[in-house]
Structure 1
Amino acid sequence: MGTLLTMQALPLLLLLLQPFPFQFLKLRKYLNFSPSEQEAFDDYVAELFSTGPTKPPTKELFQKDVIIDYERPLSDSDYCSEEVKLKSVHNRLHCKKEHFFLGVEYEELQQLCRQRFVACRNGVKRCHRSQKLIEGVYCNLTDGVMMPDCQYKSVYKKGYVLITCRWQDDIRQIIPSHVNDILEIHDQH
């Protein structure tokens, strides 16, 4: 027979010995989530601690991570560092090496997915190019490895956007999935 102390400490010890994601899932019952928030939390924890490939991009995730509004100047030197934290843009809490924010309507980018393929920045012919100039901000990681320590150099760009697209099965649409580059057009004076 165990003492009162060992009887109380045993459940705590068993909880601590469980895999880390399982501890997070146990924690959720104390957070008073609505059913939809609880489901989103479970999905987030599962993706965060999974060892397999990340979930495919979705329309909602692309809109949240890439599309911007113009409440602040795109030329602000802290734009990327602050927006990445605000929008929680990361790869399993690791800082992304580079990222783009675009000032364009989502529907306009989705239309690009129906254009012919062009060469991407890395030479692979699987990108789609915008027909008109689009404003955006290029973010290049300068410091940090994990959120929230990510620091970025922000570079305002205006040019033709190169994107890749993917099929999203649940909504049965081809959607933008990644911004490859913004090809700036420099004046020839």
Structure 2
Amino acid sequence: MGALINMQPLFLLFLLLKPLQFVRIYDPSLSDERREELEDYLDDLYATGPTKPPTKEAFRTHVIINSEMPLTDQDYCNQEMKMKRVHNRLHCVKEHFFLQAPYDDIQEICHNIFVQCTNGVRKCHRSREIVSGVHCALKSGTMMPFCEYTSSYREGWVLITCQWDDVVGEIIPVSVIDILAI
């Protein structure tokens, strides 16, 4: 019976190698605020721990739109997904919704009664008002920036999930599940 060194030399070599070290390059053109924002973004991107809990700001940033581009534009999702950096650790997301409504109106939906949801989610809140939005469905690609999406304009009642946020002390929207056609 051979020793581990004789049987698995490649495995032993990997154990002896030092982990890769990323070097941060100093860019004098970046303001201190932008540099800190970039470093936080990179830390989040390469983090191996649990995901951050949802926040009001994350929902505003990734879902709420007030774009001047028409929502019916066929290339809407391809551009907006990149502009708003919607991805999961640089992997393409399979589906995403953008809503054209003020955040406060969307947050009000969290106070509506529960309704039956779609996509296997048990409890959703449905809007009382009609909301315009865009549904993005992954067409091709696996990693950013090579994700290609089909864009479809939707108008109807929005189904969202909500949860309590201890930091701000209120219920906040977490994700858009669907936009039900009128």
Deviation at 1:36, TM superposition (A): 3.9
Mark the CA change 1:36 to 1:17 in structure 2 (over 3 Å): closer, same or farther: farther
Q: Name which of 97, 100, 103 aligns with 1:100.
A: 97
Q: Distance in 1 between matches of 2:172 and 2:33?
A: 24
The one-letter code matched in structure 2 to 1:53 is P
Structure 2 residue aligned with 1:162: 159
Which ranges of structure 1 fall in alignment gaps of 5 or more residues?
A: 1-15
Structure 1 pair 72–34 and aligned structure 2 pair: CA distance change class (3 A) = closer
Report the CA distance between 1:88 and its aligned residue: 1.1
Which AA in structure 2 matches 1:90?
H
Counterpart check, 1:50 vs 2:44: no
Q: 2:136 maps to what in 1?
A: 139
> What do residues 114-149 of structure 1 show as CA deviations (whole Å, max 9, x unaligned)?
112112212433211000111100000001111111
- Same amino acid, percent of matched pairs: 52
Tell me the secondary structure at the aligned position of residue 100 of structure 1.
strand
Q: Could you tell me how far apart the structure 1 residues matched to 2:39 and 2:77 are?
A: 28
Q: Partner of 1:31 in structure 2?
A: 27
- The question of 1:176 aligning with 2:165 is answered no
| Alignment size in residue pairs | 165
Instruction: Give the structure-1-normalised TM-score.
Output: 0.79
Counterpart contact for 1:117–1:125, Cα < 8 Å: no
Structure 2 unaligned blocks of 5 or more:
1-16
Alignment-derived partner of residue 150 in structure 1? 147
- Give the TM-score taking structure 2 as reference length: 0.82
Structure-2 change in CA distance of 1:50 and 1:164 (3 Å): same
Contact 1:135–1:159 (CA under 8 A) maintained in structure 2: yes
- Give the structure with the larger helix fraction: 1
Alignment pair present for 1:130 and 2:127: yes
